[in-house]
């Protein structure tokens, strides 16, 4: 990407989009177009068409999506399917129509089958049933991957798809019900410490395995792939290392300095037993994460304290 290229970053205020924005600015890009959802409703076909015809961006990072944790995904099933399909249909199609040089579509590791072999290779897509609780979101993301491939096949559009693992970092969502597991635990442990609670209740059995990537590492990988990856089909972005939810909780407890007990509520759903990315394809291209989990949790906790406390 030329330093003066016009880049449209969709979803710039979210955790992922803001990390990509920081990376682009750091690398010397200044012609970055951003629009809030109130300025541009990506679900609105006419609004997106008018925006692309007016701005004609050369490069697009599609990091805008309706996202949430296991409860939000399962509660707002129609919203997650419809809104994500609408956003990506509009942005990908108008990117083709207006001659965008390259587009990056960001998906999610939940696209893989619930019981796929571990670690998750890119080729495991559509080889089995999805995890029921977030199936609508996963189906939307799978459609986005296939859409990028189809536009590449039919129109030679240079549209690529990347699949990040579980993310956390600056500007995360710490909502009590609608957040992901790591930020939810940061909030729980902080509140327990502040209120001198004797125990913290963690949803599920604590046995599922999860992999976590700091959002600024993701942004670094996205920039690297925008420069170095031009293939159909998806590529995983992760660390290639996972741990149990119990061990994650113990690590967050340590970082926050909470002294009480842990209790697991096995009446709450566990979700997929394990979701570890196979990142050999990414490593072979020459990229590897830099921020390890304990350091990342410390950075995220400082951000939480600065913004929410």
153 is an annotated ligand-binding site residue: no
User: For position 67, what pLDDT does the model report?
Assistant: 81
What is the number of H-type helices and E-type strands within the chain?
10, 13
Q: Name the one residue in this structure whose structure tokens are 């599609």.
A: 62
302 is in an annotated binding site: no
Tens-digit pLDDT string for the chain (309 aa): 999 999 999 999 999 999 999 999 999 999 999 999 999 999 999 999 999 999 999 999 999 998 877 777 888 899 999 999 999 999 999 999 999 999 999 999 889 998 899 999 999 999 999 988 889 999 999 999 999 999 999 999 999 999 999 999 999 989 877 778 899 999 999 999 999 999 999 989 999 999 999 999 999 999 999 999 999 999 999 999 999 999 999 999 999 999 999 999 999 888 778 889 999 999 999 999 999 999 999 999 999 999 887
Residue 38 CB coordination number (10 Å): 6
Q: Which element (helix H / strand E) includes 51? A: helix 45-55
13 is known to lie in a ligand binding site = yes
Asked if residue 255 belongs to a known ligand binding site, the reply is no
At 54 the three-state DSSP class reads: helix
Torsion angles phi and psi, residue 98, rounded to 5: -100, 10
| CA pair distance 193, 163, nearest whole angstrom | 35
pLDDT, residue 269, reads: 83
95 marked as part of a ligand binding site: no
8 as an active site residue: the answer is no
CA–CA gap between residue 60 and residue 220 (Å, rounded): 16
Q: Which of 29, 96, 112, 137 is catalytic?
A: 137
129 CB-contact burial (10 Å; exposed 0-12 / middle 13-18 / buried 19+)? exposed
Q: What pLDDT does residue 192 have? A: 97
Q: What's the distance, CA 122 to chain centroid?
A: 16
- From first CA to last CA, the distance across the chain in angstroms is 39
pLDDT score, position 273: 82
Strand 243-244 relative to strand 209-210, pairing:
antiparallel
Q: Is 188 annotated as a binding residue?
A: yes
pLDDT, position 180 = 83
Question: If you ran DSSP here, which 8-state letter would residue 124 be given?
Answer: G
Residues 6+ apart with CB under 8 A from 247: none
CATH superfamily assigned to domain 7-169+211-239+278-290: NAD(P)-binding Rossmann-like Domain (3.40.50.720)
Instruction: Name 176's Cβ contacts closer than 8 Å, sequence gap at least 6.
Output: 184, 187
For 164, the 3-state DSSP assignment is strand
What residues form DSSP beta bridges with 117? none
**Stated pTM of the model:** 0.93
287 is in an annotated binding site: no
Q: What pLDDT is recorded for position 270?
A: 85
């Amino acid at each position: 990407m030329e330093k003066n290229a016009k880049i449209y970053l969709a979803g710039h205020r979210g955790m992922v989009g803001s990390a990509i924005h920081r990376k682009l600015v750091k690398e010397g890009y200044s012609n970055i177009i951003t629009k809030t959802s109130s300025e541009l409703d990506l679900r609105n076909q006419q609004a997106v068409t008018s925006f692309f015809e007016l701005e004609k961006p050369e490069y697009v990072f599609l990091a805008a999506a309706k996202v949430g944790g296991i409860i939000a995904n399962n509660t707002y099933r129609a919203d997650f399917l419809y809104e994500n399909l609408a956003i990506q249909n509009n942005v990908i199609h108008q990117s083709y129509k207006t001659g965008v040089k390259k587009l990056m579509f960001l998906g999610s590791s939940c696209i893989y089958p619930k019981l796929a072999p571990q670690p998750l290779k890119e080729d495991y897509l559509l080889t089995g049933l999805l995890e029921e609780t977030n199936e609508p979101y996963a189906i939307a993301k799978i459609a986005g991957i296939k859409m990028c491939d189809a536009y590449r096949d039919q129109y030679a559009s240079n549209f690529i798809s990347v699949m990040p693992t579980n993310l956390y970092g600056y500007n995360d969502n710490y909502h009590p019900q609608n957040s992901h597991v790591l930020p939810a635990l940061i909030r729980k442990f902080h509140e327990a410490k502040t209120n001198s609670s004797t125990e913290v209740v963690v949803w599920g059995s604590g046995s599922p395995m999860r992999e976590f990537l700091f959002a600024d590492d993701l942004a670094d990988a996205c920039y690297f792939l925008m420069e170095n990856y031009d293939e159909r089909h998806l590529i995983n972005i992760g660390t290639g290392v996972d741990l149990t939810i119990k061990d994650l909780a113990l690590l967050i407890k340590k970082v926050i300095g909470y002294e009480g007990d842990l209790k697991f509520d096995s009446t709450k759903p566990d979700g997929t037993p394990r979701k570890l990315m196979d990142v050999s394809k990414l490593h072979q291209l020459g990229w590897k994460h830099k921020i390890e989990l304990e350091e990342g949790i410390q950075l995220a906790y400082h951000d939480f304290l600065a913004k929410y406390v």
